[in-house]
Amino acid sequence: MSLRNEFLRLLKEDPEFRREVMGWLGVSPEDLRELKDLMKDMVNILNKVVEIQAKTVTETAEVKDRLSRLEKAVEELVEAQRKSEERLGEHNDRLSRLEKAVEELVEAQRKSEERLDRLEKAVEELTKTMKELVEAQKRNEERLIKLEEGQLRLEKSIGSISSRWGFNQEAMVRDFMGEILKQEGLDISQISSYTYVDENGTFGEKGGIYEVDILKRDGTTYLIEVKSYAQPKDVSRFNHTCYVVSKVLNLEKPVKMMVVNVATGRALERANYLGIRLIYGELT
């Protein structure tokens, strides 16, 4: 053991040795008590300092913890702000696209209104044209009615004139037909009348009657009708009669011939169109 350690041990364990040392040092027991009191005070002070220090350390730790939480909160706030800015940027982009879409919609609506205006004008013009057509058709129908009435009056006048002159119209037409057929090299005595009744309505209304004169020469069949006066409707009716008789008698390409005293210009046009030979004494 070293001298220092031995000295300290004796101070601690040997009271007599302590008093001798204190005498050597000039420290009285009173001074020792004051020193002890002072030491106690210093210990108390040190304890308070330690306590304050511990408290300070604790508070510092709390402050650090709070600062850490605050830093974390600030970081979260910064991150939230960044995300908010990103979302705001996305919203701005969407808003820009929406504004563009609205502008395009407004432009499309404007064009639609322009097209609608043009369509309304076209409809108005078409309506006006239709009214004019209806009015023109009405006038044409009135003119047609007048023409038909005039034709009826003409037929009645012809019949009246024939009656006043004492002519037998049927005999006159037959005589006229005989002369015409002679000029065509046909013998009127070879003509036979044919009548077909469509009982089942195969070619038209049920019970329809189709009458025609038939003459055959050199393998050619002539379907003939004799009338005093011919209009377009008479030509069309005769053409249908020829069609029905040809189907019933199995005739191939018969010659269709109408012999009339008086025919209208439109009747002649209709006959030429249908391939009917119209022989007339007078054309009106």
Q: Convert the pLDDT of each residue in 26-82 to its tens digit.
A: 666 666 667 667 667 766 776 776 677 777 767 777 767 877 887 787 788 778 888
Copy the structure tokens of residue 209: 């009657």
Task: Give the model's pLDDT for residue 175.
Answer: 64
Asked if residue 95 has pLDDT above 90, the reply is no
What's the pTM value of the predicted model, to 2 decimals? 0.41
Mean of pLDDT over the chain: 78
pLDDT in tens, 240-284: 999 999 999 999 889 999 988 899 999 999 999 999 999 888 888
- Using a pLDDT cut of 90, give the percent of the chain over it: 20
pLDDT in tens, 141-175: 777 676 666 556 545 544 443 443 334 555 555 66
User: CA–CA distance from 234 to each of 219, 231, 237 (Å)?
Assistant: 28, 5, 5
Asked if residue 234 has pLDDT above 90, the reply is yes
Task: Give the model's pLDDT for residue 178.
Answer: 66
Task: Give the model's pLDDT for residue 238.
Answer: 95
d(Cα 30, Cα 43) in Å, to the nearest integer? 19
pLDDT in tens, 266-276: 999 999 999 99
Task: Give the model's pLDDT for residue 157.
Answer: 42
Q: Please name the residues in contact with 257: beta carbons below 8 A apart, sequence gap of 6 or more.
A: 222, 223, 224, 225, 276, 277, 279
Instruction: Name the more confident of 63 and 135.
Output: 135
Q: What is the domain partition of the chain in residue ranges?
A: 169-283
Task: Give the model's pLDDT for residue 164.
Answer: 37
Helix axes 15-25, 3-13, angle to 10 degrees: 110
Classify 169-283 by CATH class: alpha beta
